[in-house]
Structure 1
Amino acid sequence: MEDTLDPRLPPEPAMRFAEDDPLDHVAEWGPTATPVGTFQLVPVQIERDLALISGWMNDPAVAAYWHLAGPPVVTALHLRTQLAGDGRSAPCLGVLDGTPIGYWEIYRADLDPLARHYPARPHDTGIHLLIGQPADRGRGLGSALLEAIAQLILDRRSACARVVAEPDIRNTPSLSAFLRAGFRVSGEVELPGKRAALMVRERVLRDAP
């Protein structure tokens, strides 16, 4: 594959999985059954996945909210920033029945700048996502996967009592998907570059470990 990375960039960092991993080893969560197929979060490898993710970022419907349109180096810089941290954010491909269908970030919301904008609780876990292909949008796929991943987070992270997200309030399809996935609107927050709806799914008794 042709090397599309800017040679001035530092080498690709490896995902760190310390003994006290902030996200409880997302790479080891494995597949989960959903109403639309078997879904798995697969940690991003830039050399393998850059062309695919960059292509998604250049879709106008995605670029309007992710702001990563442009040459592959734009996406590469974003991914490298995610990977170079201390494990508090895990950039992943969302793989459905063996096919990558979107990009996901699972992150520690309580350790993120987002925590300055809402009453964060310890171990709050956040989700960012995009569905890559236009044909996969608007047919309930996103909400089914969101519901499954929110439940997976609560199953795999016993210390986490809430899953949160902050989609742009203009992104009505995303808001609808979160609502159908069992999230509620907790309020609105002003974030750099957007006004967001704070979406929250709390652990209930049946989710208790």
Structure 2
Amino acid sequence: MRQTEDVMWTFRRVTSGDFALLARWLSRPHVARWWNHEWSAEAVDRDFGPSARGDEPNQDWLALLAGRPVGLFQRCWWTDYPEYLAEMTPVYPPPPGAVSIDYLIGEPEDTGRGLGTSMIAAFVARTWADLPGASCVLVPVAAANRASWRALRRAGFVTVAEGELEPDNPIDDRRHLVLRRDRPGPGGEAPSGRA
């Protein structure tokens, strides 16, 4: 059953105390299918530790609903990762001030209820507040990950490109959709591509 009531999200940065939770989420089949990430304690510390310590520009955030951790966001400026930017540019050049996000919902019982859409919309609003220089949020999604790009569209993103990028999971082909949501202007948010 799809959740339709408004939900109130809060967000906090991931700390090392959250690593066991992240490992559990990464081991869930619905997450592992798209994130394809090791979930041993060593792997989680290796991959999330630098962000938690502030040693890398990427930021990891927990999404909490009524205080309960439900999801994870990763957020970065495109320009902070030159290799990622170089791969993306032929498909769709990120404009100045572009930010990227990645996300997951940790437990299977929280999926299919509309939480992903409201969680993404709330985190984008948080991004506008946190990063005044952010012009847009630009997200490449594996074309086969229908639930993800549909949640982005419902959260106000528009598809601006299709192209080939390295998939997170090697079982997927390289076809990706690129979705964009622009920072609202004085007159509201204008579409930035095709619907």
Cα 1:75–1:87, aligned 2, differ >3 Å: closer, same or farther? closer
Say whether the 8 Å CA contact 2:94–2:138 is kept in structure 1. no
1:72-129 Cα offsets, whole Å, 9 max, x none, are 2222211124346655211121112111111111111232233211312222111111
Tell whether 2:102 aligns with 1:131. Answer: no
Cα 1:143–1:90, aligned 2, differ >3 Å: closer, same or farther? same
Partner of 1:3: none
Tell whether 2:96 aligns with 1:122. Answer: yes
Cα 1:189–1:77, aligned 2, differ >3 Å: closer, same or farther? farther
Say whether the 8 Å CA contact 1:110–1:121 is kept in structure 2. no
The one-letter code sitting in structure 1 at the alignment partner of 2:185 is L
Partner of 1:78: 47
Say whether the 8 Å CA contact 2:139–2:179 is kept in structure 1. yes
Q: Could you say which structure has the greater relative contact order, defined with CA pairs below 8 angstroms and 6 or more residues apart?
A: 2
Partner of 2:13: 43
Cα 1:97–1:76, aligned 2, differ >3 Å: closer, same or farther? same
Q: Choose from 107, 114, 117 the match for 1:140.
A: 114
Q: Choose from 165, 189, 200 the match for 2:139.
A: 165
Q: Choose from 52, 59, 67 the match for 2:36.
A: 67
**TM-score relative to the length of structure 1:** 0.74
**Paired residues, what number?**
173
Q: Choose from 46, 54, 57 the match for 2:26.
A: 57
Match of 1:80, SS state, is helix
The runs of 4+ residues in structure 1 deviating greater than 6 Å are none
The one-letter code sitting in structure 1 at the alignment partner of 2:10 is Q
Task: State the percentage of identical aligned residues.
Answer: 26
1:24-64 Cα offsets, whole Å, 9 max, x none, are xxxxxxxxxx9212x22211111x11111100000111111
Distance 2:64 2:107 in 1: 13
Partner of 2:125: 151
The one-letter code sitting in structure 2 at the alignment partner of 1:204 is P
**Any gaps of 5 or more consecutive residues in structure 2?**
169-173, 190-195
**TM-score relative to the length of structure 2:** 0.79
1:171-197 Cα offsets, whole Å, 9 max, x none, are 111111000000011112433335332
Say whether the 8 Å CA contact 2:141–2:148 is kept in structure 1. yes
The one-letter code sitting in structure 1 at the alignment partner of 2:13 is P
**Any gaps of 5 or more consecutive residues in structure 1?**
1-33
Distance 1:203 1:70 in 2: 35
Say whether the 8 Å CA contact 2:160–2:178 is kept in structure 1. yes
